[in-house]
Structures are given as structure tokens and as C-alpha cells.
Structure 1
Amino acid sequence: MRGASLRGCIDALLGGDIVALPTETVYGLACLALEEQAVDKVFQLKKRPSDNPLIVHVLDLDQAQMVAVLNPIAKLLCNEFWPGPLTLILPKRDELPGNVTAGLETVAVRSPSHALFRTVLKEVGQPLAAPSANPHSKLSPTNAKEVLEFFGSELPILDGGKCTFGVESTVLDLTSEKPSILRPGPIAKDTLEEFLGIEILSGLPRTKKGEPQKSPGLSLKHYAPETSVRLYSCFDEILGLEDLTSDDLIIAPHDGMIPLIQSSSPAKVLSFSKTDEPEEIARNLYATLRAADFFEKKLIHVALLRDTNGIIAAINDRLRRASTLS
């Protein structure tokens, strides 16, 4: 594919249009965060519900303070983990349009580490709102080709190669009584607790349908392929299935399990990794689920990973949201 130029993307953004940009997590649909009409275009293109806020991407603390009020804890976290895959929920500034935050008085902010995105932020000189570059609830793209498949060639796409992490950022809420992880991601809860020296809560009470969420990525069904997904608590449950047919597809954690499954099952088998390393599974997670769709099977069978440390919590979260059956 022939991607858009860096200059072309910068000019499009400054003209109030949308472009697709690479980050270290997934590709994003970027627009000027302070321009309400530009933000509306993102919601329309994604067919995204208006109660689902966007993450605002910034170059540094100075840009962050254009859209958010940072307390001392927020500044400590920014100095330690930015640029990188940590999103902070903070009080918003009045200058930020309400459609960015779904009408809430809080805003999700992060500073990406991808060199191309940072160059764009520097040249544009202001924050960019950028949700994942996919239609609402679909699998997030981790390379430029997948963005092209979703939106076609009319959307400017800056090709920055394959994303490093492959799952969305950790979202940490700093506006509640105690900090809490709203969405697990590459930066683990334990890492944040060790740095801050305080307990961090996990999750948040579910809001009623139609009520705004503080963070994106909290829908019960999200990050989902077209094919129905059945989720199991461990892979041994899949190995014990006796009624699988050639209409089924199994995704194993790593290549080493494929011969074992194929020796006893007629199902098609894919894997998330060659090595069984969590970081590799995360990088390949969405691409493997997307590949499974191409086989047009009736059902995809996947299992939660046994461990819950580090990025595995993020992988299991995405598998739960991708599944339609359990």
C-alpha cells in the first residue's frame, strides 16, 4: 500500500480533517482535540456512540495542561511513564469540547512514544484526540494495512509499521478517592503500585446503558471479530471437547500446541505466538483474531491465559470483551 506523507497528514489535521496515525499500542484516528467539528468527524467515521469518550494524545506536560488539570500524583506518573502506554483520567479544562469527554468533567490523556506520532504532535503544536482506527467494537488495527481494510484509501494513513505492544494503553483514574485501573494494558497494576507506594483498585462500577463511561474500551462487547467467540477459563477445557468439527477454529497460545490439537481434533488451529511469551501474544492478539475470521468458521474457541501478571491481564480483558459465548 502507499501511505500518506508526514507533511500531508499534518496539513490535513490543521485543516480540521482526520488521519490515521501509528502509536506504540494500536493505530489511531487522530483529529484536533480542541476542534469540536473535527471530533464529530471521528465519531461519525467510527460510528462510535457519543457516550464513549476519546483519549487525548499530547506531546508533553505542557500540552497535557492545555486540556487537563494535573495534580502532583499525575505529574509524578507522567515524569516516570510518559511517553508510553499509560492513560490518566484527570479533571478537564473548560477549553476542551464536551464531545471529546462524552459530556463528563474528566478527560483521558496520554503521551504516546511512537516517533511518528510525536513528530506530528510537535508540528501540529496542540493535543490530538485519537481513538483506535477501527469501526466501533471491532478489532483494533496494529498495522496500516488493517486500517486501509476498514476505511479505504480516502483516509490519509501514516504507515509506521507494526505496533510494539498490540493492545491499548493502561487507563488509570486519578479522579476518584483512590486511584483505580479502568482498563488494563501494557503497564501493570503492580508496577504502578510499586512506583506510587499506594494501593490501586481494579475496575469500576458499571454505568447504566447510555450513561457516559470515564474511559474508552469498557463496553461488554468490544475488540471483537466477526465470527462468534467462545471463551474458556483454561485451555484444558478446549482440549477436552469431543464435539468439535471442521466448522470450528481453535486459537492456541503458541505453535507448540498445534500438533497436539491436530492429532485429536478436526478443527482448524491457529496460534497467538511462536514462543508463548505474553508480549508476543499481545502483539499478535488482534491480528490472529482477524485471521481467524478469514476461514469463515462457525465458532472460534479461545481460553484465558493462566497467569494474571503484567500484560496478561490486558490480554485476558480483551479476550473477555471479544467473546460472545462462554
Structure 2
Amino acid sequence: MTARAAILPAGPDTVARAARVLAAGGLVALPTETVYGLAARALDPTAVARIFAAKERPAFDPLIVHLADSADLPRVAQLPPDGDLRRRIDLLTAPHDSGGLWPGPLTLVLPRHPEVPDIVTAGLDTVAVRVPAHPVFRAVLAALGEPLAAPSANPFGFVSPTTAAHVADQLGDRVDLILDGGPCAVGLESTILDLRAPVPRVLRHGAVTLEQLRALLGEVTTGPAVLDRPEAPGQLARHYAPGVPVALLPQHVGAPGGPVGAAWLLVLDGPAPAWATDYARVIAPAQDGDLTRTAVALYGVLREAGAAGVARLDVLACSEEGLGAALLDRVRRAAM
């Protein structure tokens, strides 16, 4: 594919067009509440292979399957009729007014249905599944009538896209269509939760916090953050790379040694410290302590720093609590 994909504003006609492209085995970049995804029919291994080729993604890294509704779970996962696993699934996938977290930025790792192709799961006996909240993605799922596999719509290992323009910049000649649903409201990938073990495990920190999960389920632990052979997406060491050096500074550090004049500083939480004035640029999205602002801004800052070719991007750390765990995870991988 060499022609540049059209960026189309999302609406009833373009949603229908996207569904037709997907039904024919094509690739469509779609907005989610987290980041833009590169979608193909999840049960069509030939279509899914195009995702891996477009992203240059290793075959051992599994994909997330997106569903229109939690009622569609039996199409891709084997669900027990009762027991702890079933109870947890029911709690997490309940409507929001009943305390559940779907639709939303939470991916569940569950026993895989035999009809899910090996290429989607990297040959694992599990499948990663979520129901997205973004109305455009949900409209496409409804129009298509089948699940979609959709990793982030960027070359493998690089910064995830949070606007349609980001997708066009990096994958514009590798996709058939880009639907523009505006900037992503969350800005970080989904939390991935493995429900198979006696104690649920967070495999990737994301927009749903560990504290939220514990409030709903009780005991929840965390799995290894980095694996050579991933159990779920986002577990490889090097990820979210902006193409310039990134350094994570301790939260309560004083002024870093050495010259910083050509470097940028990103402050994850709170206002910029007094010693930051020597930086060429200082970005502090969460001056009021609201880390959701930093989450929305993070990938844009990484992308800007890479495009500007800055000497270094220093990132002043935040607490590991709440959304801070996901922010620090992304920065640590970008810094490797």
C-alpha cells in the first residue's frame, strides 16, 4: 500500500464506510478513549496479519480484542458458569451505575475461545478483551457486527497516537482509512488485568488504577512489568520511544547536575520547581495535581520532543499511587 489514507471526520456515513472496509479485510485507524487503534476483523487471521505487517510488530506480542458489549464475551472467551472467575467478570463488566468498569479502559485476560486465531493471541491459551467507551469505535463495532483486534496505531515500539494526525504521520501509507474522532480523552492505554489466577494480577498499569480494582474486587496484585515473552500487550521493555534521550528524575530531586539549557523538562505532578528555569522548555500539565491532565498530555509531549530533536527530555517523577503508576510505567519504558 502506497497511497496515503484519507482522514475522514467521524459520522454516520464514514462509520458505515469504515465498517465496509473492515468487512473486506482492510485496516482502519479508529479513535478510542485511550489512544487511536489500528483495527481489523479479529476472527480473520489474514486481516490481523496486516496489522502486524503495518506496525512491524513481532508475532509473539498478543493483541487486544474489542467487543461492542460484554454480552459478546462468549464469542472470544470461555466463561465458567459460576465460581470466583465468573463473579469477578460480572463485577467488572457490570453497567457503570452498578459499579462496573465496562465500557472503559480496562482489558481482561481470560481463557481463549477456540475460534480466536493464534495470530491474535500469539499462540497463548488466553485472550485479552475489552469493551471500549469511545462512541465512534462503538458505532463501528455495531455496524460491523463482529469483534475487532486493535493495537495502538503506530509503528511498533514508538509513541502511541492520540490524534488522527498522529496516525497519518506514522502509518498514513499503511492503512486504508483513518476516522477522526478528535483527541483521545484518556491518553494512556487500558489497564490489563489477568483474572485467571486465584488473585487477579495487573499485567499493565493504565487508566483504571490499582486502587479502583482493589475497591471492587478486594485483593489484586501486580505481575512482572517487563517480560521477554509477553503475557499481554505492553510488557516489552522498550516502548513509547520518542527518538530522543529520556531521563526520569526522582520526585524530590534537586537541580540535576550539568547543563540543561538544550533539554526540556516534563513535570508529571504539580507546578515546576524553582530550579527548572534553566531548561529550554518546561511543561507542567498537572499544576493543580490532577494527573488526568498529564495522562492526556504525555504522548503529545514525547512526540513533540522527538520532532524537535531536543538534546534530552527530563521527566520529574510523581508518586506511584493512582494514575501515577501508569505514567511512570510509560516514562520508564520510553527511557530505556
TM-score using structure 2 length? 0.88
Task: Show the counterpart of 1:3.
Answer: 8
Task: Show the counterpart of 1:220.
Answer: 237
Task: Show the counterpart of 1:296.
Answer: 309
Task: Show the counterpart of 1:310.
Answer: 322
**Structure 2 vs 1, CA of residues 167 and 181 (structure 1 numbering), >3 Å: closer, same or farther?**
same
Runs of 5+ consecutive residues of structure 2 not aligned to the other structure: 1-5, 81-85, 95-99
User: 1:206, CA displacement in angstroms?
Assistant: 5.2
Supply the distance in 2 between the matched residues of 1:147 and 1:259 (Cα, whole angstroms).
37
Task: Show the counterpart of 2:293.
Answer: 280
Runs of 5+ consecutive residues of structure 1 not aligned to the other structure: none
8 Å CA contact retained: 1:273, 1:284:
no
Supply the distance in 2 between the matched residues of 1:320 and 1:206 (Cα, whole angstroms).
11
Supply the distance in 1 between the matched residues of 2:56 and 2:105 (Cα, whole angstroms).
25
Question: What is the alpha-carbon root mean square deviation over aligned residues?
Answer: 1.9
**Structure 2 vs 1, CA of residues 140 and 205 (structure 1 numbering), >3 Å: closer, same or farther?**
closer
8 Å CA contact retained: 2:271, 2:286:
no
**Which deviates more from structure 2 when the two are superposed, residues 268-277 or residues 20-29?**
268-277
Deviations 1:171-215 (A, max 9, x none): 10012232100111111112111212x3111123854x4x3x221
Supply the distance in 2 between the matched residues of 1:3 and 1:153 (Cα, whole angstroms).
15
Tell me whether 1:49 sits opposite 2:58 in the alignment: yes
Deviations 1:61-117 (A, max 9, x none): 232210112341212211111111110000001100000000000000000010011
Supply the distance in 2 between the matched residues of 1:280 and 1:309 (Cα, whole angstroms).
16
SS in 2 for 1:121: helix
Which of the numbers 262, 272, 284 marks the counterpart of 1:257? 272
Which of the numbers 217, 220, 240 marks the counterpart of 1:200? 220
Supply the distance in 2 between the matched residues of 1:161 and 1:258 (Cα, whole angstroms).
33
1:60-209 superposed matches below 5 A: 60-71=69-80, 72=86, 73-79=88-94, 80-152=100-172, 155=175, 156-196=177-217, 198-204=218-224, 207=227, 209=228
Task: Give the letter aligned to residue 90 of structure 1.
Answer: L
Tell me whether 1:322 sits opposite 2:329 in the alignment: no
Task: Show the counterpart of 2:250.
Answer: 233
TM-score using structure 1 length? 0.91
Task: Show the counterpart of 2:3.
Answer: none
Task: Give the letter aligned to residue 258 of structure 2.
Answer: D
* Number of aligned residues: 315
8 Å CA contact retained: 1:48, 1:135:
yes
User: 1:249, CA displacement in angstroms?
Assistant: 2.2
